[in-house]
Amino acid sequence: MTRRHDALIPLTHDHHHTLAHARRLEEGASLTDLSERRRVADDFVNFYLGRVLRHFHEEEELFFAPLVDHEEACDEVMKAVAEHLRIHGLARVLRRGLVDGEADPETMKALSKLLTTHVRSEEKNVFPLVERLLTSEELTDLATTGRRDV
Ligand SMILES: [Fe+2]
Ligand SMILES: [Fe+2]
């Protein structure tokens, strides 16, 4: 991944962790032992609730909202937000399955795939738009206040 503006580095760091979890979900989906598969799914759900939700919130509130009316960025921003909703829906299905003692392999695979394409698309398409279209004052402000303000 390319060098990011300081304001985006915490999010890019989260992306590395997310890709690692996506790989574990993909591998875990093929485990035949239910308790092992549940452990992988449970690890992901904890990561999702503890980190990914906040990550989505930061992206949407701090970086995507200022770009939604930019003609050039609108489609990419809306696509990214729609993917957040789809990921949220799949994570919810996985979480509810765990409550019933399940860990559906197809849900795990779908989540893995969507998380991976989402992160790659943000790094390749969305973050460069953020860096180009937000002013350097806005980015510097977000770099110093971002995480604490959400
Ligand atoms: Fe995102
Ligand atoms: Fe992201």
What mean pLDDT is predicted for residues 13-39?
Answer: 98
Can you state the angle between helices 9-29 and 105-121, rounded to 10 degrees? 150
What mean pLDDT is predicted for residues 120-147?
Answer: 89
Other C-beta atoms within 10 Å of 73: how many? 21
Instruction: Find the domain containing 128 and state its range.
Output: 6-145
Question: What spacing in Å lies between the alpha carbon of 18 and ligand 2's midpoint?
Answer: 9
Ligand in nearest proximity to the CA of 12? 2
Q: Is the dihedral of CA 140, 144, 149, 150 positive or negative?
A: positive
pLDDT for the residue numbered 146: 55
- Look up the CATH number of the domain holding residue 106: 1.20.120.520
Question: What spacing in Å lies between the alpha carbon of 100 and ligand 2's midpoint?
Answer: 30
Query: What pLDDT, in 10s, does the model give residues 45-66?
Result: 999 999 999 999 999 999 999 9
Question: What spacing in Å lies between the alpha carbon of 148 and ligand 2's midpoint?
Answer: 17
Instruction: Report yes or no on 1 lying in a domain.
Output: no
Record the tokens describing residue 20, joined without a space. 């690692």
pLDDT for the residue numbered 148: 47
Mean pLDDT (the chain) is: 94
Q: How many domains does the chain have?
A: 1
CB proximity list for 14: less than 8 A, separation 6 or greater: 51, 52, 55
Instruction: Report yes or no on 28 lying in a domain.
Output: yes
